[in-house]
Amino acid sequence: MSDTPYTPPKVWKWEQANGGEFASINRPIAGATHDKDLPAGKHPFQLYSLATPNGVKVTVMFEELLAAGHKDAEYDAWLISIGDGDQFGSGFVGVNPNSKIPALLDRSGAEPVRVFESGSILLHLAEKFGAFLPKEGAARTETLNWLFWQMGSAPYLGGGFGHFYAYAPEKWQYPIDRFTMETKRQLDVLDRQLAEHAFIAGSEYSIADIAIWPWYGQLVLGRNYGDAAEFLDAESYKHVVRWAKAIDARPAVQRGRMVNRSFGDLHMQLHERHDAGDFETRTQDKLEPAAE
């Protein structure tokens, strides 16, 4: 590890090697890098995503809506390979000018509506179907409080702790300590809330849980950033662990985790989802042997 202090230049200049594991897809400018149309299926909702925590939020939401009987929530989920730069194709940029997954095209109305940012997608779907979000009053506000808490807090977990602990080209104590402290503070915030409530925003399962679980629930279950759960002493946040296990046991959550997943165990990878039957017939453990 380098022990030479870094002196920032007066004007920063982009060096393409910057960024560690993600150097090939990080750049300081927006916009498309190439022309590429997005595929489209038959359902009202077209989702373009990857099973990162932000992507899992939306696929869980769709699967929960379908499980709750909202048949009009059928969707096509298309894999966006961010390592290959799919998010910089012209079609994707047209749906999300920020070039981040997930991105949704809602074709259920007279005109297609683009929806980007995972929190916005959850809110859009909750309001459209009248589900997983109280309609009014203090309960609605409390749910939105926690939805936006996640949107503001998770960058410190992912881009902060996760990056420097698991992905940076070298281990540096200062940023790891800095973001570990903040991540543990956030886990304590959740633990105190869940000590008094079954779910994040109260007694009912909501988009607050759907937003927070892929980040913090999977973290304490040992699924994010290698051995981070042990490093963070995740078991000590007993109320978060109780909640994380309860959410993990939901069949819709188990299905949502699989959609647009291109890593890990083959039986958990459903690269594209176009029909409920795909979970039984189109996972990679079913497809890859046939391709050999």
Q: What is the pLDDT of residues 256-273, one digit of tens each?
A: 999 999 999 999 999 999
Q: What are phi and psi of 195, to 5 degrees?
A: -65, -25
Please, what is the average pLDDT of the chain? 95
Is pLDDT of 292 > 50?
no
Helix (H) or strand (E) holding 190: helix 173-194
Is residue 65 within 8 Å of residue 131, measured between CB atoms? yes
Is residue 45 within 8 Å of residue 74, measured between CB atoms? yes
Predicted local distance difference test score (pLDDT) of residue 245: 98
Stretch 212-223: mean pLDDT: 98
Predicted local distance difference test score (pLDDT) of residue 269: 98
Predicted local distance difference test score (pLDDT) of residue 19: 57
Is pLDDT of 132 > 70?
yes
Is residue 225 within 8 Å of residue 166, measured between CB atoms? yes
More confident residue, 188 or 18: 188
Is pLDDT of 3 > 90?
no
Is pLDDT of 82 > 90?
yes
Measured distance CA(162)–CA(192) in Å, rounded: 23
Measured distance CA(270)–CA(69) in Å, rounded: 22
Predicted local distance difference test score (pLDDT) of residue 102: 98
Which residue, among 49, 286, 285, has the nearest Cα to 61 in the 3D structure? Answer: 49
Predicted local distance difference test score (pLDDT) of residue 20: 59
76: Cβ contacts below 8 Å, ≥ 6 apart: 40, 41, 42, 43, 45, 46, 47, 272, 273, 274
Is pLDDT of 255 > 90?
yes
Measured distance CA(213)–CA(215) in Å, rounded: 5
Strand bridging mode 113-116 / 45-49: unpaired
Predicted local distance difference test score (pLDDT) of residue 289: 66
- Residue identified by tokens 């409390």 is 142
Pair of tokens at residue 223: 């699924």
E strands, the chain, where? 45-49, 75-79, 103-106, 113-116
Query: 114 - beta bridge partners?
Result: 105
Is pLDDT of 17 > 90?
no
Pair of tokens at residue 182: 């903040």
Cis omega (within 30 of 0) on the bond before 102? yes
Measured distance CA(259)–CA(60) in Å, rounded: 9
Is pLDDT of 180 > 80?
yes
Residue 141, number of CB atoms within 10 A of its CB: 11
Is pLDDT of 108 > 60?
yes
Strand bridging mode 75-79 / 103-106: unpaired
- The pTM assigned to this predicted structure is 0.95
Is residue 65 within 8 Å of residue 129, measured between CB atoms? yes
- List pLDDT tens digits, range 24-81: 678 899 999 999 999 999 999 999 999 999 999 999 999 999 999 999 999 999 999 9
Stretch 227-245: mean pLDDT: 98
Helix (H) or strand (E) holding 129: helix 118-129
Measured distance CA(13)–CA(175) in Å, rounded: 22
